[in-house]
Amino acid sequence: MAKIKLLPVVLLLLTVIISVNAVPSFDFHMFENFGLNEVNFRRELDLVNHLKDYRKRLVELRSRTRQALAIARKPKLNKNSSDIGPIEGMKILKRRVWIRAAVQQMQQHHGDLILKVENITAEFPISYDFNGAQKGIIVLQGTFGLDPLKMANGRIKYRNKSFAVKSKMSVEDLVDLAKESFDIGWYDNCIEFLRGARDLAKERPDEDDHAEAIDQLAKAVVAANNEMVKRKTRLSQDKKVFPYMIDEKLLKKKKTQPKFVKNVNWYERKSDDPIEFASGSINMEVNRFN
């Protein structure tokens, strides 16, 4: 009986999955130059179509299950009653058979779904691939000084040129990029993405449920940034920060800076230097104030 009650939940979950993944035009417009990404995109469509078919089968199964439940809810005979005869005994068996058959069908459909999903997703990217894609966006943002807020709204501005892209990002996307930036020690990028996430949340109140995560990460990254600045270090072997103290609340440069900040010969990143950015990332050097 517990398995039968789970059926509406399964249907609801499938409806959510299909509605989230079902793009009206099914246009592949992201990373067109990455062949494997397009293959994965097509496989996602296969998965969505399979889930649609599975939902249809579950709807049919729900109808039969309701019939079984209707039979099961009928008044039961007293097992001590002397009125149980062949006909009543047949009805009791029918009720049990219906319920058992319904549960078996649910188990069979579930098994078919798992097998099909495993076949479709066998070569799907793993979390390592996703983290690699995040790092790619982080490098692009830092290399070309892109505005995360504009990126999230589908606008890429570099120098005096502006480009419109179809793909947009959510507040959660920016928070995830900030977390990845923090994990790899790129604290300046992390601050940029957090500031973009805060600004985007103001534009999209329906996505404003990441305030706590943003505040916690902001506290940690600003502390890390300012600690390196105090040590007069902008770059280390695996970390980089802004060359000044950051205000935790505003996530911007503090109005009042230590006197030494102006005197430190900070390493400057030159976006127009083809040698420096030939590899797609900045030259990681250690610069200390002597």
CATH number for position 205: 1.25.40
Regarding predicted confidence, which is higher, 151 or 284?
Answer: 151
- Give me the pLDDT at residue 61, please: 73
Could you tell me if 134 and 254 lie in one domain? yes
Mean residue pLDDT of the chain comes to 75
Could you tell me if 173 and 232 lie in one domain? yes
Could you tell me if 137 and 117 lie in one domain? no
Regarding predicted confidence, which is higher, 189 or 5?
Answer: 189
Residue 141 lies in a domain: yes
Match 């149980």 to its residue by tokens: 84
Could you tell me if 141 and 226 lie in one domain? yes
Could you tell me if 34 and 70 lie in one domain? yes
Give dist(CA 111, CA 107) in Å, integer: 6
Structure tokens at 255: 């109005």
Residue 269 lies in a domain: no
Give dist(CA 174, CA 192) in Å, integer: 9
pLDDT of 213 strictly over 80: yes
Could you tell me if 68 and 138 lie in one domain? no
Enclosing domain of residue 25: 2-124
Give dist(CA 284, CA 204) in Å, integer: 36
Residue 270 lies in a domain: no
Return the sign of the alpha-carbon dihedral for residues 230, 231, 232, 234: negative
| pTM tops 0.95 | no
Could you tell me if 118 and 153 lie in one domain? no
3-state helix, strand, coil in the chain (%, to 5): 60, 5, 35
- Would you give the distance in Å from CA 153 to the centre of its chain? 17
pLDDT of 228 strictly over 50: yes
Could you tell me if 156 and 97 lie in one domain? no
Of 92, 124, 156, which residue sits at a domain end?
124
